[in-house]
Every structure is written in structure tokens, then in C-alpha cells.
Amino acid sequence: MKSTREVVVVATDLDGTLLRSDRTISERTAAAMAGAATAGITVVWATARARHSIDELAASCGFRGTAIGANGAVILDLVDGTPTIVDTRSVPAETVASAKAVVRELVPGVAFATVGSTRFVAEARYAELCVFADHHRHPRDMELSEHGLSADVEPTVKIVARHRDTTSEALYELVAAAGIDGVELTHSGAPYIEMSAAGVSKASALQGLCEQWGISSDSVAAVGDARNDLPMLAWAGTALCPSNAAQVVRAVADRVLESNDEDAVARYLEELTARRAAL
């Protein structure tokens, strides 16, 4: 492991990591997070998800901590049971337009949605390709516009793109090889690629929080399963992943835990809590 210091912050991805495959938080995991908090260990959620679905998950398990949403572009405080936005990192409107233009040129037929801190606006073609689980929104209820989210209404924090005939992994490889100025490209294993403002990631958000709290990276453990977790795993003193993680993540992890369906994060939190109690 990169660090031997006591872990006082655990930042965990949600889908494929903290959540079971049915996208729920088990009773054991809820209890482990509560026990960790009582022991003085801060649990931070770090996810690509938007505010509304983070809120629903927190309500389902009683989580009352800090959540990093939209791959680092939005910080939420859930201490009073409601998702209060405390910070955002938006993509400049001109960068949104130029990024879309480059991707359209690379892959004709690509469809986009633009995401704000509270809103989601999809092109009609994008909505047609979606199922509820993609964005935790019913496609029929999505706000539709071919022009995307208006900056006058709410700044864009994330651009998502998908294609009917090109897999998200292939689309990611094409766009990554071309390079796009002004955006941070990533992929969470979902059926689309994601772009935030340059320099924005789960890692940058977690680093900012820890600097506010006076905690060094050596005292932070991060857990994730997908490509968008890699910067956070690299920054944290201890990098962990569930056994179901993508191979690119397993290759950089200091330790591979049990699978998400075996409550991997809960087991790790229980371990930390027991270690503290023994001191």
C-alpha cells in the first residue's frame, strides 16, 4: 500500500462498489457506514450520479455525510437529510459547444445530453436510446432540447454522449485518442461517455474536501470499480477495489476486496472500526 497511516476518510464509488448489483444498499452496509461515523471515520460518496438519485439512495439507508456527484463537478451536503449543493464546477458554454462539435465530427450520429447540478436535458435521439437505469430517470419524462441545457438557466456540469451502433467503450477510445480541449473525458462502464470541465474528477473534488478538513491523502482510502475512479484511487493513500472491478482498476489497486454483492465496502469499514476500537 502507498500509505501506512491510519485511515480517517473512506471515499467510495456507488454503482458496482458500495451498491449491490440490484443497485441497493444492504442493511449491513448502512450499519457499517453508521458505525464508521460513530468511530470517527468519515465516509464520502463519490459517484457519477446526479443529485436526485444520490438523494434517493441516501434516504434509503440514512446516509448523512458528504457526496461528490457528477464525477466531481457537484458537492452535496446531506447532513440534514436533504441534498444541499455546496459547490459546483461547470463547463463553459463555449467548451460545451466545441466538445460536441468535435465528437459529432469523429462519430456521426452521436447523441448528447447535458447535465446541470439539478437538471438533465437530452436530445430526442439520446432519450430514445435510454432506459431508466442509465440516468435514474424515465426517458419519457426527460426534458428534451436539441440545443442542450441553456447556460442562462443552469450551467452544464457534465456532457454525456452515446451512439446507437458504437459501444461506449469504443466511443471512449475514439474520443480519447482524438483529444478534446477543455474537458475531462471519462467512462464509468455505463452505456455512454462523460465529459466534465478540464481538471474536474472525483479526485479533484476529494482533494478539495480533504484540504478543507485538514486531512492528507495518506489518511484517505478510496474504493472504486471503473475507469472514472482511477484518478481518485491514484490520489488516495490507499487504493481499493471490489473483486468485480474492471481489470484496469484491479491493476492499480493496493488491495482487492470482496465483490460488491458481498458487501465489500461494509467489510472494509467494519475492519477499520474494529481496529479503532482495539486501540
pLDDT in tens, 233-265: 999 999 999 999 999 999 999 999 999 999 999
Out of 197, 218, 251, a domain closes at 197
Q: pLDDT at position 154, please? A: 96
Residue 118 to residue 82: CA distance in whole angstroms: 13
pLDDT at 1 over 70: no
- Domain of 251 in residue numbering reads as 9-88+201-278
β partners of residue 88: 74
Q: What is the pLDDT of residues 132-163, one digit of tens each?
A: 999 999 999 999 999 999 988 999 999 999 99
Q: What is the pLDDT of residues 75-104, one digit of tens each?
A: 999 999 889 999 999 999 999 999 999 999
For residue 103, the SS3 value is helix
pTM, 2 dp: 0.96
For residue 214, the SS3 value is coil
Taking alpha carbons only, the member of 162, 132, 140 closest to residue 23 is 132
> Could you tell me if 212 and 174 lie in one domain?
no
Residue 194 to residue 115: CA distance in whole angstroms: 10
CB 114 within 8 A of CB 93: no
- CATH, residue 147: 3.30.1240.10
Task: Kindly state whether residue 31 falls inside one of the protein's structural domains.
Answer: yes
Q: Domain tally for the chain? A: 2
Per-residue pLDDT averaged across 203-220, rounded? 98
Out of 163, 197, 231, a domain closes at 197
